[in-house]
Amino acid sequence: MRGFLLACVAALVSVPAFAGEVQSARSIDIAVNGTIPAQCAIGAIADLDFGDLERRGLGIRTPVAFSCNLPFNMTIKSANGALTHASMPRGQGPFGGQLPYTLGVQMPVRHPAVQMVSRTFDSRQLLSGGVISSNGGIATDNMLLSVELGTPSGEAGLLAGEYSETITITVTPI
């Protein structure tokens, strides 16, 4: 029994004194870390078909799914700078082969309050690329694109045939 008591006393004596150190502490720092990956996404945009281009005042407005969880620049470029005739982009005789347009972009951005950012570009400007900045905000509530057709380039109107244009939108986080 005496050996058992000595073992218990030895065990009690050898316990570290951590409790005293914690009780005398007045503050403690704890590092907490985490990350959220950058993400910018644009939804699919259906082809815009104006049908008969001889009608005046044609325009289309379409909502586009869009979000970006950090400030960004959006660059918009056009392939031709106008709706362009498939085989005769310069037209023929008095008939033109290009139909200019204006492209408008509107999007709400948060800084944390919501502010509307909008910009309109002439199709010729888009050849070199038009840029819209979120001005330090983020986008969570989609955007609205609008395309308004202009006046034909030829004195007699447009040459008969198919016309097209490709517009590329690129989002770059800043």
pLDDT tens-digit series, residues 27-42: 889 999 999 999 999 9
Question: For residues 155 and 141, which has the higher predicted lDDT (pLDDT)?
Answer: 141
- What does the mean pLDDT of the chain come to? 87
CB atoms within 10 A of CB 153: 18
Fold of the CATH domain 40-173:
Immunoglobulin-like (2.60.40)
| CA atoms of 72 and 155, how far apart (whole Å) | 42
* pLDDT tens, position by position, 67-78: 999 999 999 999
pLDDT at residue 5 in the model: 41
pLDDT at residue 19 in the model: 53
| CA atoms of 45 and 166, how far apart (whole Å) | 12
| CA atoms of 107 and 130, how far apart (whole Å) | 15
CB atoms within 10 A of CB 147: 19
Residue 5's SS3 state is: helix
**In the predicted structure, residue 7 carries a pLDDT above the cut 50:** no
pLDDT at residue 160 in the model: 95
pLDDT at residue 21 in the model: 59
* Confidence bin at 152 (pLDDT 50/70/90): confident
Residue 65: both structure tokens together:
């799914």
> For 126-131, what is the mean pLDDT?
96
